[in-house]
Amino acid sequence: MRKPVSMIAAGFALVLSACGTSGGTSGSPPASTPITIGVSVSLSGDFSGDGKALQQGYDLWAQDVNAKGGLLGHKVTMKYVDDASSTQQVVTNYQALITQDKVALVFGPFSSLLTIPASAVTDRYGYAFPEPAGGGPAVFKLGLHSIFFVQPAAVEDNLVSYTKWLLSLPSADRPKTAAYATQDDPFTQPQVDKAKGLLEAGGVTTASYKVYPAETPTWDTLAQQVVNSKADVVVLGTQEPDGVAFVKAFQRQHYNPKSIVETTGPDQGKDFADKVGAANTEGILVPSGWWSSAKATDNDKFVREFIAKYGGAAGDISADAAEAYSVGEVVDQAATKANSIDNKKLIDALHSGTFQTIQGPIAFDSVGRPNGQSFLVQWQHGQTVPVYPTNIAVAKPEYPKPNWP
């Protein structure tokens, strides 16, 4: 079982205390000097699919920034170190990137679980820590001034749009019961628990609720508990592997709830569709801050370049890649604003103003929490499209979800 956040915090606090005092950062390198940006990325373990997508987004941003002359004139090289989806390894990786490799900047890993210990390391050494995928409440409870979650909204509220949509349905269509299952994870569980409270307050009875360890060897028993509940709707606090497993189990059992939403997994584009079968994606929902046809600044360029570099179609692109690309975008704009890539100056610049990204405009509060909102997207006809709230929707939600083919 994954350790509670308090135990993780205690563990990396001991590691940090053994490091001695920080030497800080050395300021901006001379003009036109190439720089290295270090990233701990999950190339193996539970988050390997997400890690691959992050690397794609980071690499595409580095390609683009170098094509225009570099980050404030500094050509960029990305250095990746595999953290194996481990809270211990991610600490070791960022310590090595900063103290041994002497990287100029660092970008964040995947997940709140890894971001929490990593951010303590980077903050200790005075580095700005823009990150694409760590927005759970526990990330911001650390109170760090150096971290920046580069998504439109903090994840605790990601499923609020889902609950508002369900409760807005005509009374005859509104679900009567809901089943919940979530990883014991600082990213997934806060979303599910908030959704559960809102739906219960709206009159939706809880038919089943289960919190499970991420290292669960098989999710079949958990899925069977949901199936046995016969709930009208299912809310799942998943990463991609268990998100895929639940869908496959439901299909095998011919369990067709009116709605299925997962915290992540369905946002992985082609990777998710290939694993569950393209026909089985229809109607599945996921909260998101990005979609391929969004009219955000330069998003069409990102999609076009992504397809040219990696192949596939627009609907195949993982939201993780867009989030990683956005990290580079905000750093580029902050460097221009500060006229420096010194970490202290970047931190100050990132706390001032609004930054335009392919996810839309993003601004940060004093602890790096973004001030926007996420929305609900649904797989329809082979791609994900925004369906709620209505002011950004490009399609109506499919409800009830079509039966498995």
Q: How confident is the model at residue 380 (pLDDT cuts 50, 70, 90)?
A: very high
Q: At the topology level of CATH, where does 5-156+298-362 sit?
A: Rossmann fold (3.40.50)
Which structure tokens are listed for 84? 């194996």
pLDDT value at 21 more than 60: no
pLDDT value at 23 more than 80: no
pLDDT, averaged across the chain: 91
Which structure tokens are listed for 26? 């050395």
Q: What does the pLDDT average to over 320-346? A: 97
Apex 323 CA angle, 127 and 184, nearest 5: 85
Residues 6 or more apart in contact with residue 218 via CB below 8 angstroms: 245
Residues 6 or more apart in contact with residue 282 via CB below 8 angstroms: 379, 380, 381, 398, 401, 402
Q: How far apart are CA 289 and CA 136, in angstroms?
A: 15
Q: What does the pLDDT average to over 23-35? A: 70
Q: Output the pLDDT for position 310.
A: 97
Higher pLDDT, 218 or 350: 350
The residues facing 81 across adjacent strands are 40
Other beta carbons within 10 angstroms of residue 307's beta carbon come to 15
Q: How far apart are CA 219 and CA 222, in angstroms?
A: 5
Q: How confident is the model at residue 27 (pLDDT cuts 50, 70, 90)?
A: low
pLDDT value at 3 more than 70: no
Domain boundaries, the chain: 5-156+298-362, 157-292+375-388
pLDDT value at 116 more than 50: yes
Q: How confident is the model at residue 32 (pLDDT cuts 50, 70, 90)?
A: confident
Q: Which CATH number fits domain 157-292+375-388: 3.10.129.10, 3.50.50.60, 3.30.200.20, 3.40.50.2300?
A: 3.40.50.2300
Is-contact 261 196, C-beta < 8 A?
Answer: no
Q: How far apart are CA 32 and CA 96, in angstroms?
A: 25
Q: How far apart are CA 148 and CA 18, in angstroms?
A: 26
Q: Output the pLDDT for position 244.
A: 96
